[in-house]
Structure 1
């Protein structure tokens, strides 16, 4: 399982929300936005994105994210707001398809298609839309070529608008595709760039996945160190991301009782 990301962020986020989010305290961050989310569509969408990201890292709390997103959808009045809500809807459906109880591919594709119809070609929301389309192509449709094209568009667009967190995600996913194609050096470059950005931003909850990814293309001794560092960080954050915690600390098989009974 690889990490799949949302690029919630921007100048309208308070430092407190960012600090909580970056440590994996999504509930607390969402509570800070609750007072304005009832009347401000932008705050409602920001809150929904936080709770969808929580689903991505915990594989839980689905209904809370759904409720927050329905509030954002109901309050969306402008084309940009409707596009943002549709993009979030597509991402939640994608995350639920990968980590949740059922396949929601059709919903994800339909919502991202609505987003595309609502956004002008040069809209600031395009890079995030392209990234999420890449996720669907790679992990639900298993079309690496389409994923690569979408990730490249997202990567270049994120650079134009200065969204470094999104670039940390695009670096990682482009690197994963490079690794799958046998291009180890290119993969190493991308994984290292992703890790550097996350460390510089202080996106602590996203550092462990970046460490584990870099370990995949590192020499044996360095790989052991990177995985150990990732495991310590996951433990310090309470076991998130859950899918990475399982991979770094697999549950051992139960020991047989002394008398040999199962």
Structure 2
């Protein structure tokens, strides 16, 4: 299922501190698919602050995965973040972004950078402290590689479960929406549909609560795919289409999946 490969966005707790107007503005723009505007807001702080530089990089990588565009801008932002990194924690976090960008380019067929992705995430694992709050995101991304590049469902499940547990412990609610989603996709693949429905519903609920608008349409489509009631599944897909139109056709790859799902529904009714 292609839409299960969505990225984990920056800011793993979702909306950042409401006391920081910049963080709040960036969240609102990102969640509405305005990645270029969010990156522009971050640019002045990102020129001197390693954390802001990483966040800007992650915003631009997210745009790549939702639209298939903007690779050069993401690479430039990543190089700047790597140059600002000081200390193992910063370098490990930057390596995690390096691995994720390489994964994204491989997944979408831009360039085969699978070896770079694995190497960078391995470097991040060596640099990040065992109790680092960035560990859950690293585990999630290692799960993505196991699932989509290595075709190793058992390793993917273990990595996603570690990420899920860590996200729960650290209160990373947005990351939880992704771990629920990917664990549900694995359950669906294995035919455990009740478990899949539960996971997809949890993911959708978190995204709605957080206001992560750009991630709601894919969550609706995934849940629709495992529902037993055709009328309810059709309703969720119509809502997904409405949200996509609102966001200017983002995610760019979801239209194809919606068409396939609706075609299968029509065939079943004939």
Q: TM-score range by the shorter chain?
A: over 0.9
Runs of 4+ in 1 over 4 A off after TM superposition: none
Residues 181, 199 of structure 2: 8 Å contact kept: yes
Q: Quick one: which of 166, 175, 178 aligns to 1:166?
A: 175
Q: Quick one: which of 113, 120, 123 aligns to 1:111?
A: 120
Partner of 2:263 in structure 1?
Answer: none
Residues 208, 233 of structure 1: 8 Å contact kept: yes
Return the alpha-carbon distance in structure 2 between the equivalents of residues 117 and 43 of structure 1.
22
Measured after TM superposition, the shift of residue 246 of structure 1 is: 2.7
Partner of 1:5 in structure 2?
Answer: 7
Residues 183, 199 of structure 2: 8 Å contact kept: yes
Residues 9, 62 of structure 2: 8 Å contact kept: no
Q: Quick one: which of 238, 249, 257 aligns to 2:248?
A: 238
Q: Quick one: which of 28, 34, 58 aligns to 1:49?
A: 58
Deviations 1:126-174 (A, max 9, x none): 1000000000000000000000000000000000000000000000000
Return the alpha-carbon distance in structure 1 between the equivalents of residues 131 and 44 of structure 2.
32
Return the alpha-carbon distance in structure 1 between the equivalents of residues 143 and 136 of structure 2.
11
Residues 140, 163 of structure 2: 8 Å contact kept: yes
The correspondence of residues 100-179 of structure 1 with structure 2, limited to 5 A, is: 100-179=109-188
Q: Quick one: which of 66, 73, 82 aligns to 1:73?
A: 82
Partner of 2:235 in structure 1?
Answer: 225
TM-score by length of 1: 0.93
Residues 4, 135 of structure 1: 8 Å contact kept: no
Measured after TM superposition, the shift of residue 235 of structure 1 is: 1.3
Residues 7, 128 of structure 1: 8 Å contact kept: no
Measured after TM superposition, the shift of residue 249 of structure 1 is: 4.6
Measured after TM superposition, the shift of residue 122 of structure 1 is: 1.4
Structure 1 gaps of 5+ residues are 251-262
Return the alpha-carbon distance in structure 2 between the equivalents of residues 228 and 15 of structure 1.
30
Structure 2 gaps of 5+ residues are 261-270
Measured after TM superposition, the shift of residue 37 of structure 1 is: 1.1
Question: Given the alignment of the two structures, is residue 26 of structure 1 paired with residue 35 of structure 2, yes or no?
Answer: yes
Aligned length: 250
Measured after TM superposition, the shift of residue 202 of structure 1 is: 0.1
Measured after TM superposition, the shift of residue 17 of structure 1 is: 0.5
For CA contacts below 8 A with separation 6 or more, give which structure has more relative contact order: 2
Partner of 1:196 in structure 2?
Answer: 205
Partner of 2:267 in structure 1?
Answer: none
Larger radius of gyration: 1
Residues 86, 114 of structure 1: 8 Å contact kept: yes
Deviations 1:157-212 (A, max 9, x none): 00000000000000000000001111000000000000000000000000000000
Residues 9, 59 of structure 2: 8 Å contact kept: no
- Higher mean alpha-carbon deviation, 96-105 vs 81-90, is at 96-105
